Structure 1
Amino acid sequence: MKCSIRKAAVIGSGIMGSQIAAQLANVGIATLLLDIVPKELTQEETAKGLTLDHPAVRNRCATSAIARLSKIKPAPLYDESFASRITPGNLEDHLAQVASVDWIIEVVVENLDVKKRLLKQIEAYRKPGTIVTSNTSGISINAMAEGCSNDFQKHFLGTHFFNPPRYMKLLEIIPGKHTDPELIPAMKIFCENVLGKGVVIAKDTPNFIGNRIGTYGLLVTLQEMQMNGGYTVEEVDAVTGPAMGRPKSATFRTLDLVGLDTFVHVAENVFGHVSDEDEKAVFATPDVLKGMVERKWLGEKSGQGFYLKKKGEKGSEILSLNLATMEYLPQQKPKGASLEAAKAVKGTKEKTKAIISGKDRYSQLAWNILKQVLIYSANKVGEISDSIQEIDEAMKWGFSWDLGPFETWDAIGLVRSVERMEAEGLSVPNWVKEWIAAGNTSFYKNDQGSLYSIHIGSQQFKQVEQAPEVINLRNLKEQNKVVKGNSGASLIDLGDGVACLEFHSPNNAIGEDILSMIHQSVDEVRSNFEGMVIANQGRNFCVGANIMLLLMEAQDEEWDEINDIIHMFQSTMYKVKRFEKPVIAAPHRMCLGGGVEACMPADQVIASAETYYGLVEVGVGLIPAGGGCKELTLRASQHVRLADADLQPYITQIFETVGMATVSTSGHDAKRLGYLRPFDRVVANQDHSIYEAKQAVLGLARGGYEPIPEEKIRVVGSEGKAILQLGALGMKQSGYISDHDLFIAKKLAHVLAGGDVPAGTLVSEQYMLDLEREAFLSLCGEPKTQQRMQHMLTKGKALRN
């Protein structure tokens, strides 16, 4: 079975419903968004003379929800224009239209009776074979479908999107007992390939996988905090954040973000549906949470929770709640040997081992929480999922853990940690002890680049299946597929005659080592491959050039050295662009400055949807000088030549985008900004981007590839430069930019305009590169630019001096 979904209907236009509709729209699915008919007019509707029968009133809930999508931060839509793919309606007038869709998603209130009534209404209109799913965080799928027809139950299952649907990778699919077995893998493939999700198959149990374990972990943390040491809110967050491979939001900031009322509802769902008394005791709502909900201290949405942001004489201050007195007090930064030990080492495995191996109270807290979560996860295997891998992935994708519980167990030493647990009187599940008794020391093993995990039924290692669209560079390196490499980059054989140039310097910042490897890679690919992909699987694709190196050279007034570095960057990118074999770039997440310039020479860019792409050099007092200005002016010149249009507006737009260091909010937004070309592509699933790039290389190679010929660039010259500089001066006089911003803007205008030549002059690419390099060098010598570079290195953000 293959899912072919072109149209969908989302029932319920609340926060989750509207944002699920937005994600469907993001990937090109036309979506009908339905909600109830209002019973009262708003003041605005009354003033307009509307009645309750007017379509604008009857569709108000869905229409308003669509309008709010453009105001929500972070943005639910890849591009605001995608909202046009969502059609508003209401349940009384438009429910019959679900007969024309391929997928119906119910996203109404978490109440079984309400959901059952709605599903019966949907059943009356849906055509046989239409997929119907419920976005529930924990209500039984089987209970919802009771009383529905065989065809309905056969095509009904749960699809639990995590909030916010665009950004959270996890999607739990929960089959019912009557769900067609063939539909389950078909929906999994569709949601991975089209929606870009990480899908796990969960059993129909309370809160499924992610919320079951995640809620347990938060509750045992709260219990440990109060019962065994009187820890403060900020102490708990210091322990349960990055020190344990968890997000910076840790425990209490996460609860504030989720909403305490929402969290209590999720916990009570487990409490009301499990029979084990020990488990029920953990999921009983703590008095402190009850009290906070009663006071309406719900977290971010109410303005206060475990933390409170308060404005004072010295600016905003974030206070933390003292749970003993229920007063908000200034935070005290926790200090302890185990916390310092965790900071001193790199990698989640080493950090976790460091913090649980100490002798102070923070180490004890970390261990007391971790051991309970690991044992609980092991106890739930077979009940919530038969696969430890799916439990691990649910926690990584849904709660942003760096390692899932079983990966964590391996990291801290399975045998040693179980011995410690048992010595402390804990009961470890029998299957874990049997696995160790059989001579195993981990739940996972990697054998020549292939991953294996324990198969619970057979108590044997079983190879973890990987979709063909997922290419893992680390596995390829373990299979000795590295062709060339140095400290900054490697060339890896992807198979089928395609090589991948991978950056792996700190933060993937571009320095001489990466540039050298690009040169070597081009020569290697010329001789032995069909083409090349530029991609990596780091946290971010590339944060730009090595600012530290540039600053040191500038402070030492080594202008020749800086000139050589920029010249090497430019010549390297030019070599890639003129290469006689196809090159495809596949950026993801942060791709800034030099990272963008490394992608621009490629024949095509295949960006992940979550690509934040921009030439941000102005933020450190510089301008793009690795070919970025040249490439954007070239594209503008090509466009006006084909469209017979005025060049100045396009150069002005580029000037504003680069001058304001604008970064795209998505891959699609990068197209709107002009960073990506019309034929560049965006893929929803970041895990598939290297595969898609490889296929693009092969397609070009098999089609008789010819390198991009050089062409002259038409420039706006001195007249256009004056227009650009006049605009910048206006911003300075209006107080939007500083004196140094204006100084940089004039340099940028000089480059983008093509210097002091007549408007319409045709110049070479090398001419434009020379302008870039000259402007860059002169800015490096400015004290205020050096201050900006230093500030970025020490503070991690731009200085507007």
Structure 2
Amino acid sequence: MGSAIAAHLANVGIPCLLLDLEGLAAKGIARLKETKPSPLYDPSFITRIRAGDLDRDAALLSECDWVIEAVSEKMDVKHSVWSLIDSAWRPGMIVSSNTSGLSINEVTSVCGEACRRNAMVTHFFNPPRYMKLLEIVPCRETDPHAVAEVARFCQERLGKGVVMAKDTPNFIANRIGTYAMLATLKAMEKHGLTVEEVDAVTGPLLGRPKSATFRTLDMVGLDTFLHVCRNVRENVTDPLEAAAFAAPEIVEVLVSKGWIGEKSGGGFYRKNNAEKGKDRIQVLDPVTMTYGSRSKVSSPALEAAKLARGTSGKLQALLEAAEHDRLAAFARDVMEATLCYSAEKLGEIADTAYEIDQAMRWGFNWEEGPFETWDALGVGETAARLEARGIAVPAPVASMLAKEASTFYIKKTGSLFHYSKGHYKYVEENKEELSLSVLRDRGKKIFTADGASLIDLGDDVACLEFHSPHNAIGPGVLAAIRQASEEVASNWRGLVLANEGRNFCVGANLMLLLMEAENGEWEEIDLIIREFQMSMKTLRVMPRPVVAAPHRMTLGGGVEACLPADRILFSAETYFGLVETGVGLIPAGGGCLASAVMAQERAEAAGTDDVTSPLSQLFETIAMAKVSESGHHARRLGYWRANDAVIVREESRIAEAKSAVLELDRRGYAVPEADRRVAVGGREAATVLKLAVSAMRRGGYVSDHDVRIAGKLAGVLSGGDVPAGTVVREQHLLDLEREAFLSLCGEPLTQARMRQMLATGKPLRN
């Protein structure tokens, strides 16, 4: 965990000293290179971490501004390390523990007062790069100014979602999350459910991650889970609460066998590597303690819940079926137990419902926190249902209802207020952030079309937001792009392309393309591609600056929507790539044109007119359907342009894009050339690109159809059958894109790839 925290500090440009027992720090750094998914945004960032030995190099601690302790969760070990830190402490140094639940007051009891005034918990959730939550817990003596500075730094520089917690066992997220797991195991036993049945219910149907209960436990480690349970059990004063955290027998049995989850090769699930061409994942039968094949889980209640809209709709569907469906009854019991416990802990583990909800969203990836769920189901209605079932209504809920407050949250003119200690408090807005949902609530929508909306960001900057299913680009979104371009060109200073969906854009509407191809509607496909190309060109030549701010999955057409922008501000977690070859096609919305232009620009920057070398990198990236593993990694794949940048704090991404638009406008924006001339590699470059593919075919790495697709791609990127260095107009490249795309659409093997992707989400290599 220490090396993973160091990796994330290195990700944002902070040099780190990693100290451990002799030799272990160097080994920890070496493991970072092999860990998947990578803890680093870019492999080169590992040079920002320096290894040292704790015994030999402890004096170097005094040179550090922030010392983070991440040793084992044993108080005697922590005391020995904190005594060492205390001896090296100097004024201005912040010291924190990454403990997941031990008392910071007890941890720092071996330190002097000066150190304690600058000490706190900074609990990074694992893995630190990917998990947003960071819980801060001050000591009794901690200077509030130090807490505020650390919180600000962790939010703004590290991109974390910071929650203030109290010095109670397991703090917020692990306290609630562990209880929810235990309540799930208890309800599983009560209703006689299997492992697969529990996971079928406790994933997305309850607004939880797909890993649900048992896959999550396997990832966390069953031994770690028992440790967290024990920490609460041994440190709470209420005997009933301590009993609720008793170790489940099934988990103890598995741990005694060494079956502690993924790190041991199996827990509730394991992979049977002896199976070939089948489902190799086996599941535990808790009765026989043997592994067997997984079975599909279904019931009328589950099917009805799947069809309901949103998490609250799914929960309501399960509640309505609870009296006649055992899976729904199980879901009700888990839900009610979790809601009640969360409400009972309000004020004890955190001051506000808002902090608890944020912790569960960020730390356990719940779609809704427990108090948001109370509101969604109706606080009064849920309390009445609990009473009817003989369950005590938690005191904070009863008190709130007695004061005629019916929800934990209310919205007024787009601002959020949360209920706390008898009245509603305003949730402070960060002035460096812009929320499209808040702006919509405040009436800042300029227009809404089929699949997209234009939002006023203020200061005469507009934002085009996709909101089609999966933010896929279809005819409605393309029309909205053209309408937005016309509107912004006439009345605004510039345009931001961004949204707040789960992903920026997963590409074009593949289902529509497949339907047209299977029906032989070639003219219709040709029209769709022409409209796509025209829409992207409209963005590129707009007489106002355009800044794209993609996040998470940005694939195929989503990339092609970003490349016309004057600047791309990648979220740090942006997975960016032209992946059309995975469905048997090539980019045809201007992606090949943009790649040819980037190759020309890189050749010019290198002082040569030979585009073959820069084109080869882009060709390999596109032909292999490579996707960046971060915003920074997009540079290694060849998608980066001179003015592009990475934004670590995702919440500030849209505000930063707006600022970039205003900066480009202030400089005096030059309207781009409408029909660019591009120097292409021609026949010679195409031959070089195709030779590389032929070598891969001989090695058995690609299929004949892969070779065919790559050949089409090479021909387009190199500008067709022309001599090297020929200068062509951009429309020539767009025509080549469209022709190659159409020809591949007619291939049965390509259509098979498209069907596979739509059915399974996975590529077919035929």
Q: Normalising to structure 2: TM-score of the pair?
A: 0.98
Partner deviation per Cα, 1:558-580 (whole Å, 9 max, x = no partner): 22221121111111111211111
What does residue 524 of structure 2 align with? 561
In structure 2, stretches of 5+ residues that fail to align are: none
CA distance in 1 between counterparts of 2:348 and 2:682 reads 70
| Superposition map of 1:512-591 within 5 A | 512-591=475-554
SS at the partner of 1:698? helix
Offset at residue 430 of structure 1 (A): 2.3
Matched, 1:406 2:406: no
Offset at residue 615 of structure 1 (A): 0.2
SS at the partner of 2:304? helix
| Superposition map of 1:656-695 within 5 A | 656-695=620-659
CA distance in 2 between counterparts of 1:786 and 1:174 reads 55
SS at the partner of 1:94? helix
SS at the partner of 1:97? helix
SS at the partner of 1:158? strand
Partner deviation per Cα, 1:631-653 (whole Å, 9 max, x = no partner): 11111111211221342111111
Offset at residue 314 of structure 1 (A): 5.0
- Comparing 722-731 with 662-671, greater Cα deviation is found at 722-731
Counterpart of 2:218 (choices 238, 256, 259) is 256
What does residue 70 of structure 2 align with? 107
Matched, 1:639 2:602: yes
What does residue 266 of structure 1 align with? 228
CA distance in 1 between counterparts of 2:663 and 2:550 reads 19
Contact 2:344/2:396 (8 A) holds in 1: no
Contact 1:671/1:678 (8 A) holds in 2: no
Counterpart of 1:295 (choices 246, 257, 263) is 257
What does residue 464 of structure 1 align with? 427
Structure 2 counterpart of 1:402, one-letter code: E
Matched, 1:92 2:77: no
What does residue 731 of structure 1 align with? 696
- Comparing 315-324 with 714-723, greater Cα deviation is found at 315-324
Counterpart of 2:15 (choices 30, 49, 52) is 30
Structure 2 counterpart of 1:781, one-letter code: G
Offset at residue 498 of structure 1 (A): 0.8
Contact 1:129/1:151 (8 A) holds in 2: no
Structure 1 counterpart of 2:462, one-letter code: A
Matched, 1:162 2:128: no
What does residue 434 of structure 1 align with? 399
What does residue 287 of structure 2 align with? 324
CA distance in 2 between counterparts of 1:167 and 1:147 reads 33
Partner deviation per Cα, 1:92-135 (whole Å, 9 max, x = no partner): 22221122221110010111121122111112223211111100
What does residue 241 of structure 1 align with? 203
- Comparing 215-224 with 142-151, greater Cα deviation is found at 142-151
Counterpart of 1:230 (choices 192, 207, 214) is 192
What does residue 706 of structure 2 align with? 741
Q: Normalising to structure 1: TM-score of the pair?
A: 0.93
Matched, 1:755 2:716: no
SS at the partner of 1:200? strand
CA distance in 2 between counterparts of 1:181 and 1:519 reads 51
Matched, 1:191 2:139: no
Offset at residue 319 of structure 1 (A): 2.1
Offset at residue 378 of structure 1 (A): 0.6
CA distance in 2 between counterparts of 1:120 and 1:128 reads 16
CA distance in 2 between counterparts of 1:246 and 1:571 reads 41
What does residue 452 of structure 1 align with? 417
What does residue 286 of structure 1 align with? 248
Structure 1 counterpart of 2:132, one-letter code: K
SS at the partner of 1:722? helix
CA distance in 1 between counterparts of 2:208 and 2:470 reads 20
Contact 1:213/1:373 (8 A) holds in 2: yes
Offset at residue 766 of structure 1 (A): 1.6
SS at the partner of 1:315? coil
CA distance in 1 between counterparts of 2:495 and 2:619 reads 32
Offset at residue 689 of structure 1 (A): 0.5
Classify 1:647/1:140 alpha carbon distance in 2 versus 1 (closer, same or farther; 3 Å).
same
Offset at residue 316 of structure 1 (A): 4.3
CA distance in 2 between counterparts of 1:600 and 1:509 reads 16
- Comparing 352-361 with 578-587, greater Cα deviation is found at 352-361
What does residue 239 of structure 2 align with? 277
CA distance in 2 between counterparts of 1:335 and 1:543 reads 29
CA distance in 1 between counterparts of 2:605 and 2:276 reads 58
- Comparing 197-206 with 776-785, greater Cα deviation is found at 776-785
What does residue 456 of structure 2 align with? 493
Matched, 1:21 2:6: yes
Contact 1:719/1:759 (8 A) holds in 2: yes
Partner deviation per Cα, 1:286-340 (whole Å, 9 max, x = no partner): 2222111111010111111111222335534322222222122322322222111
Contact 2:133/2:359 (8 A) holds in 1: yes
Contact 1:103/1:131 (8 A) holds in 2: yes
Structure 1 counterpart of 2:703, one-letter code: S
Offset at residue 438 of structure 1 (A): 2.6
SS at the partner of 1:771? helix
In structure 1, stretches of 5+ residues that fail to align are: 1-15, 38-59
What does residue 617 of structure 2 align with? 653
Counterpart of 2:271 (choices 309, 316, 334) is 309
CA distance in 1 between counterparts of 2:695 and 2:728 reads 29
Contact 2:346/2:396 (8 A) holds in 1: no
Structure 1 counterpart of 2:255, one-letter code: V
Contact 2:78/2:107 (8 A) holds in 1: yes
Offset at residue 741 of structure 1 (A): 0.7
What does residue 4 of structure 1 align with? none
- Comparing 213-222 with 557-566, greater Cα deviation is found at 557-566
Counterpart of 2:730 (choices 750, 765, 770) is 765
Partner deviation per Cα, 1:126-151 (whole Å, 9 max, x = no partner): 32111111000001111111142222
Offset at residue 239 of structure 1 (A): 1.3
Partner deviation per Cα, 1:732-770 (whole Å, 9 max, x = no partner): 121111111111111001011111111111122222111
SS at the partner of 1:146? helix
CA distance in 2 between counterparts of 1:533 and 1:168 reads 27
Classify 1:658/1:538 alpha carbon distance in 2 versus 1 (closer, same or farther; 3 Å).
same
Structure 1 counterpart of 2:70, one-letter code: V
Offset at residue 437 of structure 1 (A): 2.6
Structure 2 counterpart of 1:22, one-letter code: A
Partner deviation per Cα, 1:62-113 (whole Å, 9 max, x = no partner): 1111111111111111111110110111112222112222111001011112
Offset at residue 695 of structure 1 (A): 0.9
What does residue 52 of structure 1 align with? none
What does residue 371 of structure 1 align with? 336
Structure 2 counterpart of 1:300, one-letter code: E
Contact 2:418/2:426 (8 A) holds in 1: yes
What does residue 683 of structure 2 align with? 718
Offset at residue 598 of structure 1 (A): 0.3
CA distance in 2 between counterparts of 1:391 and 1:313 reads 45
SS at the partner of 2:690? helix
Offset at residue 711 of structure 1 (A): 4.3
SS at the partner of 2:55? coil
Structure 1 counterpart of 2:390, one-letter code: G
CA distance in 2 between counterparts of 1:524 and 1:660 reads 38
Contact 2:268/2:284 (8 A) holds in 1: yes
Offset at residue 180 of structure 1 (A): 0.7
CA distance in 2 between counterparts of 1:236 and 1:532 reads 46
What does residue 612 of structure 1 align with? 575
CA distance in 1 between counterparts of 2:365 and 2:735 reads 45
CA distance in 1 between counterparts of 2:638 and 2:90 reads 43
Contact 2:344/2:395 (8 A) holds in 1: no
Contact 2:136/2:163 (8 A) holds in 1: yes
Contact 1:244/1:355 (8 A) holds in 2: no
